[in-house]
Structure 1
Amino acid sequence: MRVAIIGGGIAGLAAAYELELARRAGVDVEYELFEAGARLGGVISSTVVDGTVIEHGPDSFLTEKPAAAQLCRELGLESQFVASDDAQRKTFILVRNRLVALPDGLMFLVPTKLLATALTSLFSLPTKIRMGLELLHSPRPGNQSNGGDESVAELVRRHYGQEAVDRLADPLLSGIYGGDSTQLSARSVLPRLVEMEAKFGSLTRGMLAAMKARKEAAAKAAETENPERVSAPPPLFTTLRFGLQQMLDALVGRLDQSRLHVLTPVEAVERSGDRWVVQSASSEERFDGLIVATPAWAAAEFLAPVDRQLSDELGQIPFSSSITMNLVFDGADLDPLPEGFGFLVPAVEKRAMLACTFLHRKFPGRTAPGKSVLRAFLGGAHNAALLAESDEALAELVREELFEILRVSAIPELVEIQRWPRAMAQYSVGHQERQQRIQTRLAGLPGLRLVGNAYDGIGISDCIRLGRQAARQLTSATPQDARATAQSHT
């Protein structure tokens, strides 16, 4: 069996790794990976400058999603794990040029400690009263428009009011998706809250019930297990000592280098009988399976001759663009910074920055002694035009805002800027219905798999999971014990 992988980001590399495991386990499978750019890894990229880790794309992965950590363990990188310092995890929201801490007990968008909510200056008195009365909401079955879907903004507004949308939903989701809460699908982005609303009515009551259930489960586990074996809660985020590039380098190192083709854009894809024809500038090859790991908008272009309806669905998945900026300072020049990991900026504040992370606090030990790293995020759904600005203009804009917000007047020792155009998929209202239509079209195209952040999760772990899953589906006859044997010898 021959499999083509189009796209050399983390999803494509994960698929190639799984196929390599199958090949080493004795499965008759070959793969070729085609990447249009000069490097592999997609948005994951990091360097170490004078002892300080500089992440150009994402800086970590969610610990609760296991696929990334599992892959790193298979690659022998577990000793390189660095956990987020959650004891220092405190986040601020910019409100009228003033940083206000998120109140204690806020579980993403849901307040669970009413006293802390009542005392915060993040919300006005009418909003606080509305948050208290939200406890009285009755269960609400989903409406029928858009298959019962609605925007995150609509969901949050109905429970807590517009101010909660402006000061919570929008900045939090902008920091994760670079998106707009009025466009993002509640059912796809916040499925747990949708389920809580249907069951409890009140999101606060639903979250309190979930917290109680977790505590009871933990207590039961502590009773039945050796207390010494009951582990502490895992960190929220995990990264690698020398940057996520470590994972890419180790992953690529496990693959057959002769099968990895960079600077090789795919020009056309055709279906010929029961096989796939992949045409690049240098070759035209036939494959039994095809894993497309490009952004959905790129997949739409070369799959159009194969299935116009599938192409149209893929082309309608919106994407946002972003800019990351790392600023390295002498730590003494930043004192005193507010406590915590950093701050988020609501769109109503009309700022260029979406967020700023104090990276030296989030992941201790990855910054040279005496140095501090501020990481600013710009662009997103509200400010995509910033991508056209020069590096100098962007750096000056961020420095001005850091002075106005943090009173930081020092000149950074290093400024590193990276643009990511059309990189982050947006799960807009009706996303699940679109995915169902896509799966219907794929059912008529044997051997074709689509992976990446446009389908079922935007994070690193999601992309790894989907990439490996696609490869396993194409080599479904592979015995699990054989794959495990090959894995143990890699």
Structure 2
Amino acid sequence: MEEGSVTNDCHDVIVIGGGATGLACARVLARRGKRVALLEREARVGGNISSRSDGRWQTEIGPNTLIMKPPLYRLLEEMDLLGEAQSANASAQKRFVAMNGHPVALPTHPLRALNNPLIGREGWSQIVREPFVRKSEAAEESLAGFVERRLGRRVLDRMVDPFVSGVYAGDPQRLSAQAAMPRLVAIERDYGSLIRGGLTRLWQSRRATPEMPAEWRGKLVSFPAGLGRLAERLGEEVETHGGEIVCRCDVATIEREDAGWAVTDSEGRIWRTRELVLAVSAPVAIKLLAPLDAALTAPLAEIAYPPVNAVALGFRREDITHPLDGFGVLIPSIEKRRTLGALFSSTIFEGRAPDGHCLINAFIGGRRQPEAAEGSDAEQVQQVLYDLRDLLGIRGDPVWQQVSRWPQAIPQYELGHLDRIKRLDRALERHAGLSLVGNWRDGIAVGDCLENGRLLGERLAPG
């Protein structure tokens, strides 16, 4: 194609960004007969969803699992992927949290929670008072403040803090409870108590008509070839229904035109469209929107993206004394270690490591210790080994290793986040035909991104 040429006639919709959100949006548009093109900078679609195989070692570079909820179940069913879905092993239900240098299992049953050292007498003394704690009158509260107010410092330090590290690689003192954990805040608002509300919702869910088979409900799932299979299948769906996917397409500029929008890539190719969707990270969106409107970029520039490295380590099974009989181990900040936590990948799913070996996927960096993600690959491996040796009883060195780096990993829903999104949406009202979507709003999980992409696609192509 000649430089500066137009690829074809005007599209109905162009989606920039081939991650989970962009793929889900483009899939709906294509299925509803819209002329849609998806432009992706990398050589493949999927964004942060990326599976990698090295011989018999198989790792996930980004997200490691999906949680089966009704929207995901329906999507997999529509794409004929349920038959390929791989449920996590039953042993992966157990979760460990580091406490005083030892991995302690989180309670899996209310009765077992009574003697669990992670909660302890201090934790229970606050938990039993939780139903009588008053609602907060503040418009916004930090996640740390919310949890400490309702459940006490012990639960914050030993349970919520490591959970936040595992999900956001974030700092609960900075995260907004309303933005990062809206369902938790809604329970307090609606029922006045997390315990009372949780029990009520559990009772209601058991009486409600099931939206999917019980054997799938809440299951952790992947695919034998990894989560990359999901991205691959979404791409196939887009193209099967007449959509166009253009990889290795580095978008340089977007411009408003009378009939819609013009998109130009780094090679001078031009696409024209009536509707434009930016399904990209906040930093990428800022670069494209900067010449257009500062009111769009200002809220996005306030969203922090700390670095996180994924350090995959393969061992001979006899070189680790811990049974690795769970999902993984999370490390609270009060343990004073740099590693945020580790997944027992070869326990969660079959086929992740050679026979007689095990695979551990650790994470380092994050909002509180971004400097921990600095250093060579060898230094990253050594730091993770230093942090995990005593926790897991690692006696030997890894026989295989891989370090994957995300310089801008997970968007942080910090205090003021909902206000940022409101400001952004108000600014968007001045730009007809432009939509912004991504994991920097309305949920960071893959399932959230898939659902948000679907909803946007349905809004742009109703009926």
Same fold by TM-score greater than 0.5: yes
Asked whether the equivalents of residues 117 and 128 of structure 1 are also in contact (C-alpha less than 8 Å), the reply is no
- Superposition map of 1:464-479 within 5 A: 464-476=450-462, 479=463
Please point out which of 233, 249, 253 is paired with 1:264. Answer: 249
* CA RMSD of superposed structures (Å): 2.5
Please point out which of 252, 258, 264 is paired with 1:273. Answer: 258
Letter in 2 for 1:260: I
Q: Which moved more, 1:252-261 or 1:327-336?
A: 252-261
Deviation at residue 162 of structure 1 after TM alignment? 2.2
| 1:192 maps to 2:183 | yes
- Distance of 1:201 and 1:471 partners within structure 2: 36
- Distance of 2:197 and 2:459 partners within structure 1: 37
Deviations 1:278-320 (A, max 9, x none): 2222223322110101101221221122222121112222223
| 1:15 maps to 2:25 | yes
Deviation at residue 404 of structure 1 after TM alignment? 2.1
Asked whether the equivalents of residues 295 and 423 of structure 1 are also in contact (C-alpha less than 8 Å), the reply is no
- Distance of 1:192 and 1:132 partners within structure 2: 21
- What secondary structure sits across from 1:439 in the alignment? helix
Deviations 1:453-479 (A, max 9, x none): 011111112212222332332233xx4
- Distance of 2:410 and 2:280 partners within structure 1: 12
Deviation at residue 121 of structure 1 after TM alignment? 1.5
- What secondary structure sits across from 2:178 in the alignment? helix
- Distance of 1:313 and 1:371 partners within structure 2: 47
Aligned to 2:428: 442
| 1:240 maps to 2:223 | yes
| 1:143 maps to 2:137 | yes
- Distance of 1:379 and 1:13 partners within structure 2: 29
Please point out which of 405, 417, 441 is paired with 2:403. Answer: 417
- What secondary structure sits across from 1:433 in the alignment? helix
- Structure 1's unaligned 5+ residue stretches are 24-28, 106-112, 223-228, 480-490
Deviation at residue 261 of structure 1 after TM alignment? 3.0
- What secondary structure sits across from 1:15 in the alignment? helix
- What secondary structure sits across from 1:411 in the alignment? coil
- Distance of 1:192 and 1:263 partners within structure 2: 38
Q: Do the aligned partners of residues 249 and 199 (structure 1) sit closer, same or farther apart at CA in structure 2, a change above 3 Å counting?
A: closer
Aligned to 1:121: 117
- Structure 2's unaligned 5+ residue stretches are 1-10
Please point out which of 51, 61, 75 is paired with 1:46. Answer: 51
Asked whether the equivalents of residues 43 and 57 of structure 1 are also in contact (C-alpha less than 8 Å), the reply is yes
| 1:101 maps to 2:105 | yes
- What secondary structure sits across from 2:32 in the alignment? helix
Aligned to 1:55: 60
Aligned to 1:390: 376
- What secondary structure sits across from 2:410 in the alignment? strand
- Distance of 2:431 and 2:112 partners within structure 1: 54
Q: Which moved more, 1:332-341 or 1:274-283?
A: 332-341
- Distance of 2:200 and 2:461 partners within structure 1: 42
Aligned to 1:484: none
- Superposition map of 1:339-354 within 5 A: 339-354=325-340
Q: Which moved more, 1:124-133 or 1:455-464?
A: 124-133
Q: Do the aligned partners of residues 267 and 201 (structure 1) sit closer, same or farther apart at CA in structure 2, a change above 3 Å counting?
A: same
Deviations 1:376-424 (A, max 9, x none): 1111111222332111111111122221211212222211111112131
- Distance of 2:407 and 2:131 partners within structure 1: 42
Q: Do the aligned partners of residues 34 and 415 (structure 1) sit closer, same or farther apart at CA in structure 2, a change above 3 Å counting?
A: same
Aligned to 1:174: 165
Letter in 1 for 2:245: L
- Distance of 1:160 and 1:297 partners within structure 2: 36
- What secondary structure sits across from 2:137 in the alignment? coil
Deviation at residue 255 of structure 1 after TM alignment? 4.0
- What secondary structure sits across from 1:126 in the alignment? helix
Please point out which of 328, 331, 337 is paired with 2:323. Answer: 337
Aligned to 2:128: 132
- Distance of 2:390 and 2:402 partners within structure 1: 21
Please point out which of 66, 70, 74 is paired with 1:70. Answer: 74
Please point out which of 226, 245, 250 is paired with 2:233. Answer: 250
Q: Percent identity between the aligned chains?
A: 31
Asked whether the equivalents of residues 173 and 179 of structure 1 are also in contact (C-alpha less than 8 Å), the reply is yes
- Distance of 1:250 and 1:193 partners within structure 2: 33
Deviations 1:43-66 (A, max 9, x none): 111123334432111111111252
| 1:201 maps to 2:192 | yes
- Distance of 2:244 and 2:200 partners within structure 1: 51
Asked whether the equivalents of residues 30 and 243 of structure 2 are also in contact (C-alpha less than 8 Å), the reply is no
Deviation at residue 86 of structure 1 after TM alignment? 4.0
Asked whether the equivalents of residues 86 and 236 of structure 1 are also in contact (C-alpha less than 8 Å), the reply is no
Deviation at residue 164 of structure 1 after TM alignment? 2.0
Deviation at residue 97 of structure 1 after TM alignment? 1.0
Please point out which of 71, 86, 95 is paired with 1:91. Answer: 95
- Distance of 2:192 and 2:225 partners within structure 1: 46
Deviation at residue 208 of structure 1 after TM alignment? 2.5
- Distance of 2:123 and 2:404 partners within structure 1: 38
Aligned to 2:269: 283
Asked whether the equivalents of residues 324 and 347 of structure 2 are also in contact (C-alpha less than 8 Å), the reply is no
Q: Do the aligned partners of residues 471 and 196 (structure 1) sit closer, same or farther apart at CA in structure 2, a change above 3 Å counting?
A: closer
Please point out which of 423, 436, 439 is paired with 1:453. Answer: 439
Please point out which of 273, 276, 280 is paired with 1:294. Answer: 280
Asked whether the equivalents of residues 260 and 272 of structure 2 are also in contact (C-alpha less than 8 Å), the reply is yes
Asked whether the equivalents of residues 36 and 243 of structure 2 are also in contact (C-alpha less than 8 Å), the reply is no
Asked whether the equivalents of residues 316 and 356 of structure 2 are also in contact (C-alpha less than 8 Å), the reply is yes
